[in-house]
Structure 1
Amino acid sequence: MSGGTVLLVVAKAPVAGRVKTRLTPLFSAEQAAALAEAALGDTLAAGLAVGAGRRVVVLDGAPGAWLPPGYEVVPQVAGGLDVRLAAAFEGCAGPALLVGMDTPQVTAELLAAPFGPGGWDGCDAWFGPAADGGFWALGLADPAHAGLLRGVPMCTDRTGAVQRARLAEAGLRVRDLPVLRDVDTPADAAEVAGLAPHTRFARAFRTLRAPVPAPTALAVEAR
Structure 2
Amino acid sequence: MSAHFSLLVIAKAPAAGFAKTRLCPPATPEQAAEIAASALLDTLEAVLNTPGAKPVVAMTGELGAAARSAEISRALRGATVIAQRGWDFGAKLANAHADTAAVHAGLPVLQIGMDTPQVSPESLAAAVEPMLHGGRDSVLGPAEDGGWWALGLTDPNHAQVLAGVPMSREDTGELTLRALAGVGLRPKTLTTLSDVDTMLDAQRVAALRPGSRFARAVGAVTWQEVTR
TM-score (norm 1): 0.89
Select the residue among 75, 83, 86 that pairs with 1:75.
83
How far apart in 2 are the matches of 1:117 and 1:138? Answer: 12
| Structure 2 equivalent of residue 87 of structure 1 | 95
| Structure 1 equivalent of residue 66 of structure 2 | none
Q: What SS class does the counterpart of residue 55 from structure 1 fall into?
A: strand
Structure 2 residue runs without a partner (length 5+): 64-68
Query: Is the 2:42–2:212 Cα contact (8 Å) retained in structure 1?
Result: yes
Please tell me the residue identity of whatever aligns with 1:99: I
| Structure 2 equivalent of residue 21 of structure 1 | 21
How far apart in 1 are the matches of 2:38 and 2:194? Answer: 16
How far apart in 2 are the matches of 1:147 and 1:49? Answer: 29
Q: What SS class does the counterpart of residue 151 from structure 2 fall into?
A: strand
Query: Is the 2:131–2:138 Cα contact (8 Å) retained in structure 1?
Result: no
How far apart in 2 are the matches of 1:78 and 1:89? Answer: 12
Select the residue among 172, 180, 204 that pairs with 1:167.
180
Q: What SS class does the counterpart of residue 202 from structure 2 fall into?
A: helix
RMSD: 1.8
Select the residue among 124, 132, 139 that pairs with 1:126.
139
2:220 is the counterpart of 1:212: no
How far apart in 1 are the matches of 2:144 and 2:57? Answer: 24
Change (3 A) 1:53 1:42: closer
| Structure 1 equivalent of residue 212 of structure 2 | 199
| Structure 2 equivalent of residue 7 of structure 1 | 7
Alpha-carbon shift at residue 51 of structure 1 (Å): 2.4
How far apart in 2 are the matches of 1:171 and 1:197? Answer: 41
Q: What SS class does the counterpart of residue 117 from structure 2 fall into?
A: coil
Change (3 A) 1:117 1:102: closer
How far apart in 2 are the matches of 1:109 and 1:170? Answer: 30
TM-score (norm 2): 0.87
Query: Is the 2:51–2:121 Cα contact (8 Å) retained in structure 1?
Result: no
Mapping of residues 44-193 of structure 1, within 5 Å: 44-63=44-63, 64-65=69-70, 66-67=72-73, 68=75, 69-91=77-99, 92=101, 93=105, 94-115=107-128, 119-193=132-206
How far apart in 2 are the matches of 1:51 and 1:14? Answer: 27
Q: What SS class does the counterpart of residue 35 from structure 1 fall into?
A: helix
Which consecutive segments of 4 or more residues in structure 1 shift more than 3 A?
A: 114-118
How far apart in 1 are the matches of 2:144 and 2:3? Answer: 30
Q: What SS class does the counterpart of residue 3 from structure 2 fall into?
A: helix
Query: Is the 1:105–1:199 Cα contact (8 Å) retained in structure 2?
Result: no
Structure 1 residue runs without a partner (length 5+): 214-223
Please tell me the residue identity of whatever aligns with 1:198: G
